[in-house]
Structure 1
Amino acid sequence: MNILILGNSSDAHAVRLQNALTQAGATVDYLDTRMFPSQIRISWEPNSLMGSLKLSAQRQLKFQDIHSVFWRNFASVSIPSLEDSHQQTIAFNDSMSLLRTLIKACPARWVNSWEAYQFHKEKPLQLHQVQLLGVKIPQTLITNDPEQVIRFAKSHQKVIFKPVYGGAYTQILTESLLEPKRLNLALSLAPITLQEYIPGTNIRSYVVGNFVYSAEIRTHCLDFRTDLEAELLPVELPQQIQQQCRDIAKALYLEWTAIDWRQTPAGEYVFLEANPSPMFLHFEQQTGFPITEKLVELLMDNC
Structure 2
Amino acid sequence: MKILVLGCPEEAHARHMGQALRAAGASVNYLDTTQFPARLRLSWCPQTAEGTLCFESGDRLSLRDIHSVFWRSLGEPAIAPLDPALQPVARQDAASLLRSLIRACPARWVNSWRAYDFHKEKPRQLQRVHALGIPIPETLVTNDPQEVLAFAQRRDRLIFKPVYGGAHTRQLTPEHLDAARLRHVLGLAPVTLQTYIPGTNLRTYVVEDAVYAAEIRSAALDFREDAQAELIPVALPEAAQRQCVAIARALGLTWTAIDWRQPPDGDWVFLEANPSPMFLFFEQRTGYPITQALVETLTR
TM-score (norm 1): 0.98
- In 2, Cα distance between the equivalents of 1:238 and 1:194? 30
2:84 match: 85
- Deviation track 1:4-46 (CA, whole Å, cap 9, x = no partner) reads 1011122111111111111100011111111111111111111
SS of match in other structure, 2:85: helix
**Equivalent residue, structure 2, for 1:241:** 240
Residue aligning to 1:66: 66
Instruction: Report Cα offsets for 1:29-85 as digits up to 9, x if no partner.
Output: 111111111111111111111111111353001000001111101111010011x21
Partner of 2:26: 26
**Partner Cα separation in structure 2 for residue 190 and residue 65 of structure 1:** 43
- 1:1-303 → structure 2 map (5 Å cutoff): 1-56=1-56, 58-82=58-82, 84-301=83-300
Shift of 1:267: 4.1
Distance (Å, rounded) in 2 between the aligned partners of 1:32 and 1:130: 32
- Distance in 2 between residues matched to 1:58 and 1:71, nearest whole Å: 22
Aligned AA (1:287): T
CA deviation vs aligned residue, 1:257-299 (integer Å, no higher than 9, x gap): 0000000101410000000111000000000000000000111
Query: Following the alignment from structure 1 to structure 2, what is the Cα–Cα distance between the partners of residues 267 and 192?
Result: 27
- Code of the aligned partner of 2:247: I
- Aligned residues between the structures: 300
1:67-118 per-position Cα deviation (integer Å, ceiling 9, x unaligned) = 1111101111010011x21211111111111101110001011111111111
Amino acid at match of 1:193: T
SS in 2 for 1:103: helix
User: Equivalent residue of 2:156, what SS?
Assistant: coil
**Distance change (3 Å), C-alpha of 1:223 and 1:57:** closer
CA distance in 2, matches of 1:187, 1:197: 21
3-state DSSP of counterpart to 1:189? coil
- The separation in 2 between residues aligned to 1:43 and 1:164, in whole angstroms, is 35
For residues 191-238 of structure 1, give each alpha carbon's deviation from its aligned partner in whole angstroms, at most 9, with x where no partner exists.
100000000000000001110000000000000000011000001122
Kindly provide the amino acid, as one letter, of the partner of residue 151 in structure 2: F
Residue 300 of structure 1, CA deviation: 0.5
| Aligned-partner Cα distance in 2 for 1:125–1:289 | 30
Deviations 1:107-162 (A, max 9, x none): 01111111111111111110000011111101000011111111111111100000
Q: Matched residues in 2 for 1:69 and 1:76: separation?
A: 18
Partner Cα distance (2:84, 2:115) in 1: 32
The Cα RMSD (Å) is 0.8
Rounded Cα–Cα distance in structure 1 between residues aligned with 2:238 and 2:161: 31
Alpha-carbon distance in structure 2 between the residues aligned to 1:15 and 1:126: 29
* Paired AA for residue 4 in structure 2: L
**What's the secondary structure of 1:85's corresponding residue?**
coil
Q: Match of 1:295, SS?
A: helix
Q: Percent identity?
A: 58
Amino acid at match of 1:299: L
Q: Which runs of 5+ in 2 are unaligned?
A: none
Whole-Å separation in 2 of the counterparts to 1:57 and 1:281: 28
Q: Separation in 2 of the partners of 1:188 and 1:70?
A: 38
